[in-house]
Amino acid sequence: MANRGKRYAAGYAKVDRKKQYTVAEAVALVKANATAKFDETIEIAMNLGVDPRHADQMVRGVVTLPSGSGRSARVAVFARDAKAEEAKKAGADIVGAEDLMEQVQRGEINFDRVIATPDMMPIVGRLGKILGPRGMMPNPKVGTVTQNVAQAIADAKGGAVEFRVEKAGILHAGIGKSSFDEAAIEANVNAFLSAVLKAKPSGAKGGYLKKISLTSTMGPGVAIDISEASTS
């Protein structure tokens, strides 16, 4: 913890806490402060002017990061027969129906994303209390309930990141790795910001973007200029 504290303090000293940085400046600072011995995740956090308790203020979507996410998503697919075979050939890590449902009910969740064909939703629906809080419940709006399971698997493994606003209007996601070059991280940040702006709900009143910060796993947060982000 002492080493972590020293690294964090050194990084914190480089950041002007009263300043909002451009995306390029924030990326450069965060990358420079990512000095851990492992490949740190670059994370974005946003405070939005919405109340997700109201259906017309929910913010949810998916974005394919142009530089990839830097992590290999483990994908589970609920499908039968020909669609199950399609999922296996497309590289799904786990494929099943009732057997997969029972596995999840036992707490065996060895995956990061869930895809389902429409006919599987009566089964998947029974898992709402388990998958919902983890942000894994398939949804046609983000392309995870579909007949085109091969494309959905390719998207999930190729850098597609789902986002969903949480309590108090907080939204966060991993959008790359510290080993990425600055241009790659910047491209991912801008793609993510653009997706969140496009997902602005009809019920949002007043300022939509309240606060945006970028950080690495072990580094301090860097505030991003909201005016610049609003034009992404």
Q: Is residue 9 included in any domain, yes or no? A: no
Domain count for the chain = 2
Q: Is residue 191 included in any domain, yes or no? A: yes
- Give the C-alpha separation, 222 to 21, whole Å: 7
The answer to whether residue 11 scores a pLDDT higher than 70 is no
Cβ atoms of residues 223 and 213 within 8 Å: yes
Q: What is the rounded average pLDDT of the residues 87-111?
A: 96
pLDDT value at position 73?
85
The answer to whether residue 115 scores a pLDDT higher than 50 is yes
Cβ atoms of residues 57 and 167 within 8 Å: no
Cβ atoms of residues 176 and 8 within 8 Å: no
pLDDT tens by residue, 24-65: 999 999 999 999 999 999 999 999 999 999 999 999 988 989
pLDDT value at position 1?
45
The CATH number covering residue 216 comes to 3.30.190.20
The answer to whether residue 3 scores a pLDDT higher than 90 is no
Same domain flag for 135 and 29: no
Average pLDDT over all residues of the chain: 91
Same domain flag for 56 and 28: yes
For residue 12, what pLDDT band results from cuts at 50, 70 and 90? Answer: low
The answer to whether residue 200 scores a pLDDT higher than 90 is yes
pLDDT value at position 206?
85
Same domain flag for 191 and 151: no
- Burial call 213-225: b when 16+ CB within 10 Å, e when fewer: bbbbebbbbbbbe
Q: Is residue 7 included in any domain, yes or no? A: no
Same domain flag for 85 and 154: yes
Same domain flag for 148 and 185: no
Range of the domain at 137: 75-158
Which pTM value belongs to this model? 0.77
Q: Is residue 1 included in any domain, yes or no? A: no
Q: Is residue 109 included in any domain, yes or no? A: yes
Same domain flag for 89 and 121: yes
Share of the chain above pLDDT 70, in %: 94
pLDDT value at position 13?
66
The CATH number covering residue 147 comes to 3.40.50.790
Cβ atoms of residues 232 and 190 within 8 Å: yes
pLDDT tens by residue, 138-185: 999 888 999 999 999 998 888 888 899 998 899 999 999 999 999 999
Q: CA angle 31-195-132, nearest 5°?
A: 95
Among the candidates 135, 158, 181, a domain finishes at 158
pLDDT value at position 25?
95
Same domain flag for 120 and 133: yes
